[in-house]
Amino acid sequence: MPAPLRHGARRWTNYHGTASANLADLVELINSTADGARAALREVAGDVLALMQQAREVGIQIRPLGSGWSPSPICIVDHGWLIETRRVNRCFQLVAGDVAPGIDVSTLMLVQAGATIDEVNDSAEELGLSLTTGGASNGQTLAGAAATGTHGSVLTAGGIQDHIRALQVVTPSGIFWVEPSQAVMAPDFVADTGSIILRDDDVFAACLVAVGAMGFVTALVIECEPIYMVRNIQKRARLTRGHITQLARGGFRDFSREMALDEDPYFVQVILNPFDPFDKDALLRMLYRRAFDPSIPPPPRPLAGAGYDALTLIGKAMAGFDLFRADILQLAMRAGYAVQRDIDDPEAVATWGHTTEPHNPIANLFNGSVTLARDDLDRAFDPMIEAFISGGGGTVVTLRFMKRAAGLLAPARFADNVVIDFDGPRSDVSHRSYRAVITRLDAMGIRFTRHWGKTNDLDAARVAQDYGDEYQRFRAAQRRLMPDPGDLAVFGSDCLVHLGLI
């Protein structure tokens, strides 16, 4: 197996051009060419272990690097090493002998840490499987998306980390196979990957949304479901204040009956014009589950990019402006849904893997979000919009809905969640407006969390406050996985120290 490539000191910038660092080294992992999954995992994890032991010896901090997708500086470390995983991207089918007794292997996949959502979707479909949920784009690595708690808008599911059933995690002291207390993989499988079994519910839950603070994830076992398709409806529509109440109360069937189809939607997204949310068009996107039909060809890749990402839909139309009024923003929103997919569109059915696309870098855009209990949306909506406009209101407001997500530090921590995105131009106005919303929610006593991979203005005190007992459990689990303080120090970037995660 070829040794990792050392590219030396350099200035590195993330995919979207929103964060950068002066690196002591950029290290590129080279994948194993072994035929079997067990040998491939063992060889890659061995390379990572050697790098981390070297880093500890010389006092260098490291960060795992997937696609570098997060707009926040969560994945970088100044004067440290970034260890790039993108070539470590194989997906494997598992067989009955790989798993513990009683585990159904038919919907499981083994995914290396550098595999992107797009690559996982393709591999899953070849096996007759689909992911259950996911974010708006598919250029992130699955491991990176899980590590930041990336959510979708599936009404019956949580975040992408909910797919994970086991992980291979490397620390400077060893290679570990982390599972919940109930065994997932067979002991001989784990041994053949060069890993030590660690079955601990809290360590596993901490690793699901690890924010890069629980070692270096090199592989994951994920659970999919039999392949399905979705019917896509996206349209412009006028909403009323009553519709917000309806959504806050979970009346998605009634909302769908009025706006699209008389059936339970699988996915609901609402993009609002905050300057005039009820007298200007909103952008709606709703997906409905359908049985898989192999006769339906994949749709052409849309020129706009990600299928339901507000940044892609209207961001470029808004970039270059620092302040918006209702009519200007409405023109940008109309450009985003220039072509509507209403109930009479015959070409709006595709597999889940074809609902998202990569989009271009978004360096000129700002993104932030808050997640709150869905039933708080009704009382929070008007004050939140008022606060947002008081700051200048530099963008649209997007509502997405989801269940509680797995993981001790999952931002979607309520039984039913509404994720409210503020995606628009990268400007003081956008950031000021976002901060005004946070201040208003705090003043109202409404609990909320923020996305780890977006602009969030978090610090250690606020993280501890937001996550409470689950934060304390995360730190305790971290100490169980890395009891030697020297191991934990290897992951101690400025960002993680600021967040109180190291």
pLDDT tens-digit series, residues 175-200: 999 999 999 999 999 999 999 999 99
- CATH class of the domain whose range is 228-449: alpha beta
- Domain edges within the chain: 5-226+476-498, 228-449
Task: Answer whether residue 252 shows pLDDT above 70.
Answer: yes
Q: How many CB atoms lie within 10 A of CB 188?
A: 11
User: Would the pTM count as exceeding 0.85?
Assistant: yes
| Residues 404-454: tens digit of each pLDDT | 999 999 999 999 999 999 877 777 888 899 999 999 999 999 999 999 988
> Which band of pLDDT confidence, cut at 50, 70 and 90, is reported for residue 343?
low
How far apart are alpha carbons 17 and 373 in whole angstroms? 32
The structure tokens listed for 392 are 């200048």
Nearest to 369 by CA among 341, 347, 399: 399
Tell me, which fold does domain 5-226+476-498 have in CATH? 3.30.465
Q: What does the pLDDT read at residue 13?
A: 86
CB of 19 closer than 8 Å to CB of 73: yes
What whole-number distance in Å separates Cα of residue 434 and Cα of residue 423?
10
Condensed to tens digits (0 to 9), the pLDDT of residues 450-498 reads 999 888 889 999 999 999 999 999 999 999 999 999 999 999 888 899 9
Q: Helices (DSSP H) in 321-376: which residue ranges?
A: 326-336
How far apart are alpha carbons 203 and 214 in whole angstroms? 9
Average pLDDT on 57-73 reads: 86
- Region 148-174 average pLDDT: 93
Q: How many CB atoms lie within 10 A of CB 132?
A: 19
Long-range contacts at 57-65 (CB < 8 A, ≥ 24 apart): 60/24, 60/490, 61/489, 61/490, 61/491, 61/492, 61/493, 62/216, 62/490, 62/491, 63/212, 63/491, 63/493, 64/113, 64/143, 64/144, 64/212, 64/216, 64/217
